[in-house]
């Protein structure tokens, strides 16, 4: 097997190994956002993204492989929908930073309030 083919296989494997790697790609995050409003066909998703259907299908396949989307067939249509349970690891990981951001914004609010108070005192 040529080295370029091996590298391509390894790169593909890395993106499909878990939900974190799968959603690292911006187009896949856009697909997740679009599917957040409900089930859609691959054609509708491709149109919304402004990409060709094969490109959208490729990204959907990665998301399907890690369980983020589910697909059902309705005649010739393939309809995709989110599987929220598969996004739980992302939520759990990112929620650990919620306290940090809340505290940071709280300190910023306090600083802004003190600055406003100083401005009032100067007048």
Three-class HEC string of 14-42:
HHHCCHHHHCCCHHHHHHHHHHCCCCEEH
Structure confidence at residue 3 as a pLDDT band (50, 70, 90): low
**Alpha carbon distance 92, 86 (integer Å):** 11
Tell whether the model's pLDDT for residue 81 goes beyond 50: yes
CATH fold group of domain 3-122? Arc Repressor Mutant, subunit A (1.10.10)
Q: Are 76 and 86 in contact (CB under 8 A)?
A: no
Per-residue pLDDT reduced to its tens digit, 18-41: 899 998 899 999 999 999 999 999
Tell whether the model's pLDDT for residue 47 goes beyond 70: yes
Q: At what angle do helices 26-35 and 42-49 cross, to 10 degrees?
A: 120
Is 0.85 surpassed by the pTM of this model? no
**Alpha carbon distance 63, 17 (integer Å):** 10
**Alpha carbon distance 67, 86 (integer Å):** 6
Tell whether the model's pLDDT for residue 67 goes beyond 50: yes
Question: Tokens in use for 122?
Answer: 């100067």
Structure confidence at residue 97 as a pLDDT band (50, 70, 90): confident
Selection from 43-47, 74-78, 101-105 with the highest mean pLDDT:
43-47
Beta bridge partners of 80: 40, 71
pLDDT at 18: 84
Number of H helices, E strands in the chain: 7, 3
Structure confidence at residue 90 as a pLDDT band (50, 70, 90): confident
The 3-state DSSP class for residue 3 equals helix
């Amino acid at each position: 097997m040529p080295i370029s083919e091996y590298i391509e296989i390894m790169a593909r494997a890395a993106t499909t190994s878990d939900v974190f790697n799968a959603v690292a790609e911006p187009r896949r995050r856009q697909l997740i956002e679009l599917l957040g409003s409900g089930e859609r066909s691959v054609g509708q998703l491709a149109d919304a993204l402004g990409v060709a259907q094969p490109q959208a299908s490729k990204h959907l396949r990665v998301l399907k492989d890690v369980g983020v989307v589910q697909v059902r067939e309705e005649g010739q249509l393939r309809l995709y929908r989110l599987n929220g349970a598969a996004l739980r690891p992302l939520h759990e990981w990112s929620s650990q930073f919620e306290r940090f951001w809340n505290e940071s914004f709280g300190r910023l609010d306090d600083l802004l309030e003190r600055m406003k108070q100083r401005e009032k005192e100067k007048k």
